[in-house]
Amino acid sequence: MTTGTVTLHRVLKAPTDRVYRALLDPAALCKWMPPHGFTATVHELDAQVGGRYRMSFTNFSNGQSHSFGGTYLELVPGERVRNTDRFDDSNLPGEMITTMDLKAVACGTELRIVQEGIPAAIPTEMCYLGWQDSLALLALLVEPEIPG
pLDDT in tens, 98-142: 999 999 999 999 999 999 999 988 899 999 999 999 999 999 999
pLDDT in tens, 45-77: 999 999 999 999 999 999 999 999 999 999 999
In a domain, 21, yes or no: yes
The answer to whether residue 11 sits within a structural domain is yes
Report DSSP state, residue 35: P
Strand runs labelled E in the chain: 3-12, 38-45, 52-59, 65-76, 80-87, 96-105, 108-119
| Nearest alpha-carbon partner for 57 in 40, 78, 33 | 40
What CATH number corresponds to the domain at position 95? Answer: 3.30.530.20
**Residue 1: predicted pLDDT:** 60
Q: pTM for the full model?
A: 0.94
Residues 6+ apart with CB under 8 A from 27: none
Query: Residue 67 domain-assigned?
Result: no
Asked if 72 and 50 touch (Cβ cutoff 8 Å), the reply is yes
pLDDT band at 4 (very low <50, low <70, confident <90, very high): very high
How many domains are contained in the chain?
A: 1
For residue 93, pLDDT beyond 90: no
What value does the mean pLDDT take over residues 33-38?
94
In a domain, 31, yes or no: yes
